Structure 1
Amino acid sequence: MSPANPIRRDGLHARLRAATDPAHRALEAGLDWQARVATRAGYRDLLARLHGFHATWEHAIGAQLSDETFLAPRRRLALLAADLDHLGLAPAAIAALPQPGAVRLDGPAAAMGALYVLEGSTLGGQLIGRHIAGLHGFSETGLAYYRAHGPRTGAMWSAFRTRLEAFGDDPDAEATLTHAAVATFAAMRAWLCAPHGVPGAG
C-alpha cells in the first residue's frame, strides 16, 4: 500500500499574500493612481508623498533588518529624489518634504513584513511606469522610482521571496511579519491618500 500523500502547505509568500489582500486592495482603491498621474503636477505630488513615506520606512526597515547588503539595492529614496529633481523640485524643497512620524518595527521579521510591501510595489511599478512614460513622454529620466530594478525586477523579487521563506517555519516570526505587512499597507494608504502640500511646487 502506498503511503498517504502528505498535506501540502502553502509557502509563506502565498499565506502572506492572502493575509494582506484586503489591505492591499484598500490601498489600490484609495490611491487611484491613474487619476493621480494624469498630469505632471499630479505625478510630482504622488512622488513627493512617496518620498516622505520611503524616508521614514526605509530608515525603520534598515535599523531592524541589519543587512545593508540585502537592503541597499532595494532602497528607492534616491530614485524618488532624482525623479522629483527632473520634475523641477529644488533640492532644498525635496529635503523639506513632509514625512510620517517615526515608525517602530519589532525586529527582522517585522522589517521583512514592511519591506514586502515596498519591494512588492516594484512589480506593479513596471506597468505604472510604462503608463506614465506614454502619458508624459518620459524615458528613463523621470521614471527611476517606477522603473526600480528594471530588467532585474524578476530576479530581485525571486531573491526577496527566498529570504522571506526563511521565516516560514517560525509561527511567531510569521505572525510578526504578517502584522507588519498589513500595518505597512494601511500606513501607506493613510499617508498617500491624505492631503499634503508640496513645498516648492507651483
Structure 2
Amino acid sequence: MSDPTLHLRLRTATASAHEALERDLGWEARVATLTGYRDLLGRLHGFHATWEPAIGTALGDGAFFDDRRRVVALTDDLAFLGLTGPEIGALPQARPIALTGPAQAMGALYVLEGSTLGGRVIGRHIAAAHGLGGEGLAYYSGHGPRTGAMWSAFRARLDAFDGEGETVVAAANATFDAMRLWLNPA
C-alpha cells in the first residue's frame, strides 16, 4: 500500500494544533453578540492582513493565490458592521512573518484555506443568530459556491509538495499556533 497523500498526512500531523485553535477560539460565545462577532472579525482581519502578503510573496503564484485572499471580505464585513475605513486601518495586526519559500507558504495556506470549509458552518450559525443575509458574512462564506472546487484545487497543489512534507507540516502547525495565540490575546 502506498503512503497517504500529503494532505492526509498533514491533517493527521496538525490535528492537535487544529483542535487547540478550535477549543481556545470559543467561536459560539464570541459571536453570540454582534459586538463579539465584529471583534472576532477584527482579530481575523489583523491576522490575514499580515499573513496573506507573506504567503503571496513566498508562494510567488498570484494566479493561484490571489482569489484565495480573504482580507477584503473581512474589510467588507467590518464596514457592514459599522467600522469606518480609518477604524479598520487602525485595527491591530499580527506581527510580520517571513516564509522562506513555497513549501512553507503552502503549509500556512493550508490553515487559511481549510478555514473556508468550517467557516461556512459558522457563517450559517451567525446568519441565524443575527438575522444577517449575504452582507456581513463575506468572510464566513468562504469562496461561495466555488469553495469545494477551490479546496480540491488546493489539495492537488498541496500534494505536489510531497517531497517537502516536513516543511509543509511544520509551517501549518506554526500557523495554527500563531492564529490561536493571535485570536486569543491575553
State the TM bucket, normalised to the shorter chain.
over 0.9
Query: 2:7 & 2:68 partners in 1: Cα distance?
Result: 18
Query: 2:156 & 2:66 partners in 1: Cα distance?
Result: 17
Counterpart amino acid of residue 160 in structure 2? A
- Answer 1 or 2: which has greater helix percent: 2
Q: Secondary structure at the residue paired with 2:14?
A: helix
Q: Secondary structure at the residue paired with 1:102?
A: coil
State the Cα distance separating 1:150 from its structure 2 match: 1.2
Structure 1: state its 5+ residue gaps: 1-6, 196-202
1:4 is matched with which residue? Answer: none
Counterpart amino acid of residue 67 in structure 1? D
| Matches for 1:1-202 after TM superposition, within 5 Å | 7-168=1-162, 170=163, 173-195=164-186
Runs of 4 or more consecutive aligned structure 1 residues displaced over 4 Å after TM superposition = none
Query: 1:128 & 1:100 partners in 2: Cα distance?
Result: 23
Counterpart amino acid of residue 33 in structure 1? W
Deviations 1:62-115 (A, max 9, x none): 110001111111000000000000000010000111011110111000000000
State the Cα distance separating 1:148 from its structure 2 match: 1.9
Counterpart amino acid of residue 93 in structure 1? E
Identity %, equivalent residues: 62
State the Cα distance separating 1:152 from its structure 2 match: 1.2
TM-score (norm 1): 0.91
TM-score (norm 2): 0.98
State the Cα distance separating 1:8 from its structure 2 match: 2.4
Counterpart amino acid of residue 74 in structure 2? L
Query: 1:179 & 1:52 partners in 2: Cα distance?
Result: 22
Q: Which has the larger radius of gyration?
A: 1
Structure 2: state its 5+ residue gaps: none
In the alignment, is the contact (CA less than 8 A) between 2:45 and 2:71 conserved in 1?
yes
Counterpart amino acid of residue 144 in structure 2? G
